Chain A
């Protein structure tokens, strides 16, 4: 049956409007729930990086309350000074990816610290960078010496399933624990990811981790993003390390 052009236009317009309406209402009604999921996921991953979360099977409420109890957050600038955030924005709202587009002097770098009493136990920073196919998102937690890695997590990535996606596996992430990011001369050297298992007599063993076999580009991506993001915080970490080493000297005297 041949139809008039007008019918065709009217038909496709109606179909489009119905579909668009359906999608926008779904997006509208599901938005809160999706945002809560994203927020909880973020907090969960910070808790995971600082080793406050052992099992994955805890409720959203437990995650939020554990986060509120243990984690404090603030932001620093590229000089390493703690800055005040514009009104209405919390540290958790800072999107590190968007900060990278801004001029360096305007960027805000979030820092999450785990406190027990007055002392800081761990520092946690977001890490973001390109792998082979996708941008990988994660957190890196350092012990209070700002040198030893306490934990690393990746929570969002679109790398090759079974190969690059292993960055999300515990097996890969556990390899980073205990590694150091500064050398003896106080240079920030981050972590080198090798194609092979680092030899046990390597002089740089404390800075080396074996990559994922079959995922060289993803492993290189992890190495690059660690260096890039640690560099952002270098000034802040230097300040902290200098002030804490001064404290040590005075307390020794």
Chain B
């Protein structure tokens, strides 16, 4: 597979969220607003890239029997490191993400990329794969986050975007979108929409 394909495929055709249906938990949990979605996307991207790189570099040394343990150690180390750095240099952001940074450890996308790609590929393609998947994940997060914030709370990045006149005319924020089920419906719609366009179905 060419490097270009490795990088771009996870954007749409092999998107980790909408096609592989991984990382759903965080896609539902952090996307009530755009800002945590953005920061989460960046944090996950950084972690996938670095864990992919490290695992790829030591891929020929890892004993098969304990490879999952080794992968988890690397992921956990990366996540704690990112958390520590955020706490020292971006204190406000780290406060906002609170527990979600730690929960990146359990994000299946990270482990999935290590198992599915970094273990059998060289360093450069692994970095590209990590970047591509991180961006693919972030795209969905940002789309869901922006939609939920605009129609659920009437704001975007904390600023009001729905004019007061609309509220006076009887418009109301959609409370469902603030809750996790709202995100689930939204995600389902995105998956449907994407497959309708790409004509890529799992059934024959």
A contacts, CB < 8 Å to B: 3, 7-8, 11-12, 15-16, 19, 22-23, 26-27, 30, 33-34, 37, 41, 134, 155-158, 160-163, 213-214
Contacts and interface: CB of A to CB of B under 8 A. Distances in A.
A30 B70 contact: no
Given A8-B65, A19-B77, A214-B178, A161 B36 contact: yes
Contacts, number: 77
A37 B91 contact: yes
A16 B52 CA distance: 18
B197 interface: no
Nearest to B95: A156
A93 B85 CA distance: 24
Given A8-B63, A22-B81, A34-B87, 11 more contacts: A11-B66, A12-B66, A15-B74, A23-B80, A26-B85, A34-B84, A34-B91, A37-B88, A155-B95, A161-B29, A162-B153
Contacts of B69: 12
Nearest to A7: B63
B74 to A, nearest CB: 7
The B interface, classified by DSSP as helix, strand, loop or mixed, is helix
Interface residues of B, number: 35
B47 to A, nearest CB: 14
Contact of B175 (A27, A155, A214): A214
* Chain B CB within 10 A, most for which of A3, A7, A19, A158: A19
Given A7-B63, A33-B89, A161 B77 contact: no
Interface of B: 29-30, 32-33, 36, 61-66, 69-70, 73-74, 76-77, 80-81, 84-85, 87-89, 91, 95, 98-99, 148-149, 152-153, 175, 178-179
